[in-house]
Chains A and B, each alone.
Chain A
């Protein structure tokens, strides 16, 4: 069975500081991995996805993530936080070629301080 663990339910950074949101996955077969962002009272929006091509994936709004098979990780980073990045971020996993079912982590709420 697949699972996702997001370390830290809340992360707080200063504007302009590095953003690092951690995601570790468990999957017995090669995974597809996703990061979604949810702004208050809105649905989830895809930030980026890993589908077995390049291990460093660039997404929207300056975010990127690196797939590290040896560490079963897919951490999300952004070099410089902006106030508009304050939101909740979800990591998700699904198997390649299998069910379309996405398994989500519990989410990490990012606060950006001025």
Chain B
């Protein structure tokens, strides 16, 4: 299997612009997770989906962040408008079912200037 696929790998944008991060989970996995990693806050869960339905979005920082999972093989995380403090590495992970380990993608490094 190709593993979790994320795009783009790097994104540089200006403050105020819209940013869309994309994730393709491992085929057959039914849970998908979005994380953010920064030096200051470490690794934080933003939101997770089970069977394409958002289950816990308590980690989403504010209304500027939104996530969708229109089907089992694709998810997006959108930031609009972006701010410099959103600069981080964003990871997507997927798991087969509850209790199983999460498999992480390579991450998207976002820089907002």
Contact = CB atoms under 8 A, between A and B. Distances in A.
Our verdict on whether A and B bind, yes or no, reads yes
Interface of A: 32, 34, 36, 41-46, 49, 51, 90, 96, 99-107
Given A32-B99, A90-B43, A43 B48 contact: no
Nearest to B105: A43
A41 B109 CA distance: 9
Contacts of B56: 99, 101
Q: Is the interface of B mostly helix, strand, loop or mixed?
A: strand
Given A99-B56, A100-B50, A100-B98, A45 B45 contact: no
Given A43-B105, A43-B106, A51-B99, A104 B43 contact: yes
Contact of A101 (B45, B91, B103): B45
Interface residues of B, number: 22
B107 interface: yes
A104 B42 contact: yes
A96 B98 CA distance: 9
Contacts of B98: 100
A43 B95 contact: no
Nearest to B101: A46
Contact of B42 (A36, A96, A101, A107): A107
Nearest to A99: B56
